[in-house]
Structure 1
Amino acid sequence: MVAGQDDVFWTMTLFYFYSLDGIYRILKPRSWIVLTVGLLLSLLSLTLHDQLTVKGILVLLVLYILAARISMIVTQREEMRQLYDQLRGEYRSVKRLNLAAERDARLEERTKIARDIHDSVGHRLTALIMKLEMLSIQRKTEDYTELKRMATESLEETRQAVRALNIEENEGIATVVHLIRKLEAESHIMVQFTVKQGVLSASLSNDKSVALYRVIQEALTNAMRHAQTREVRVTLGKSATGAIAFEIENSLHKATSFKEGFGISMMRKRVGELGGSLEVIQTNNKFVVSGMIPSEG
């Protein structure tokens, strides 16, 4: 090749590789195709200009091999970088899952502690208060006010301890039934439960579940205080609107005077705030607390 031909050859070669560099940055995954097409175009161009020589072919092949090797190295590094980013992302994901699992484990343990406190200490204190109410009725000559005050304060402190754990109470009618059954066993009264169709599957929020339980608990306390029998009938059903209807009834052998106390008044207010209603009816032979609490749907 003469000097003029060398200038054309190297000019075309440089143009070829600069062009390849730009194309390669756009089409990295197909770099080998770009290099091969570029090589063929370069050979074709040299052939058309009648400048194709053995030396030129060898130079182009060497440059092609070097470019291919560099492309392979760059591709491998790119794949390694992507793999590293993927592993780092998976590590972060696993770390987040691990932290979430630890948080769930702590929450589960706190929930268990809260349930143990609520089911053991809380219910025993409630039963104690009801027994003291019964004793104050049976033995009117003795004053149980201080004992009732201490038991009530202890119960409130227990509830505050449970709330301090930031654990929500269980929801649903099934839990209410379980709690009332436990209260029945501890207070030695006979509760005749009637749970009508569709009630157990009803959805109640935490506040409504607790309100329903407190209403029944207060009604049972009133039954122990004023009734001449230890049998109470509790009925849970569903109204036409889907609300949870409740009725707590106990028999009276003789008419007695009744004045609505603070407990019933507070329960009526609490149920009313949740969109429900509560009423108390007393006749010559029975005492009834009834009402409804809207369900969640």
Structure 2
Amino acid sequence: MAALETSADRASTSSESRSRLVAKRLVLRIVFAGVVFVGLWLTVTPPEGARGLQLLLGVAAMLAATLSHWAPGSGVLLAVAATTTAWALNLTADPFLLAGVGVFTSAERRGTRRFPWWLLVAGTLLMLVTFVFGGPPNLGGFEERMRGVLLGAVVLAVSWVLGVRTRQAQQVAEEQVRADERLRLARDVHDVLSHSLGAIGVRAGVTAHVDALGEPELREALRAIESQARDSLAELKLLLQRERDGKLETAAASLPLSGILRDVSATAKLAGLEVDLHYDSEVDQLPPSIRTTVHRVAQEAVTNALRHAGATRLTLTVTHTATDAVVAASDDGVGVSSGFSYGHGLTGMRERVRLLGGELCIDSGQPGFLLTARIPLPQHEGAAR
């Protein structure tokens, strides 16, 4: 029930945010239309007796710019018709800016091509209409009207191009957000399952290959494997619940880091890896995001020592200074003398550290792996206050 209420609250908040954004854009549209009407319509002195028609056409163009928020196509047609008529009668100096509002909106919502063929046709028709209804070329003001129409064609073309570019930029941003979300989720799932399944696999393998193991020891090993599996499922459930609720921090971020590190050490010990754990007394005061990253780096270091290095002992140290938090891990396992490839674990570890502006250094030699993660503290604060 709480999860349903949380989802409903989040949906309501998102709806309110969208409503505020729509209202803000509508107000900006109305203000822009009013500025154009005052600056480029009312400042033009119309022929005698044509002030009423000028006001009527100007208001129609303003309403069209506002209408284009809901119906861009209809808004563009109305604004173009009103502005073209006004240009033909020498009633405005608006270079189709109000029509451009609708063109921009239409391109932002449905545009795919930067410069469609119909835009060139529309510009040509505007010039023809102005030429036909604007009087003969020897009539005064004809050149000015033609220059205005040409400028209007440019304005409409630029409005379309800007709308398409805005649409494409939004699509790229949305795709990037989805890609980042998939990457983050894959990293979290790997961190949750890799450590626990690695420990379960090692412990199950040891249990299966020890012939002299008595029934009490076997039952104890099975209970430990069961407990580890249940803990992993619980953590995975919390992770998925966090994704549904839209929370950015894991549940572990609210727990003391010292306790989490001791739990990681205890899990490693059950799998046959001795961990020499050292940490500062104030690591629990680190910011939540850094505590989470330190937890995952330590967890992955233990997993690598268990699954890949064949180590029996791991030294894990977590310290911090006034500017950095440092995680150092070294094992006595089999290193790689030449080179090594980055799997999902090391890649995810490096990504986590880099997201916080830190640096991960890995040295594989003889013996074992040497890993150091250095994470800068926000605003050079040694602890969260």
- Fold conserved between structures, TM > 0.5: no
Name which structure has the greater RCO, CA cutoff 8 Å, separation 6+.
1
Query: TM-score range, shorter-chain basis?
Result: 0.3 to 0.5
Larger Rg: 1
Give the TM-score, by structure 1 length: 0.45
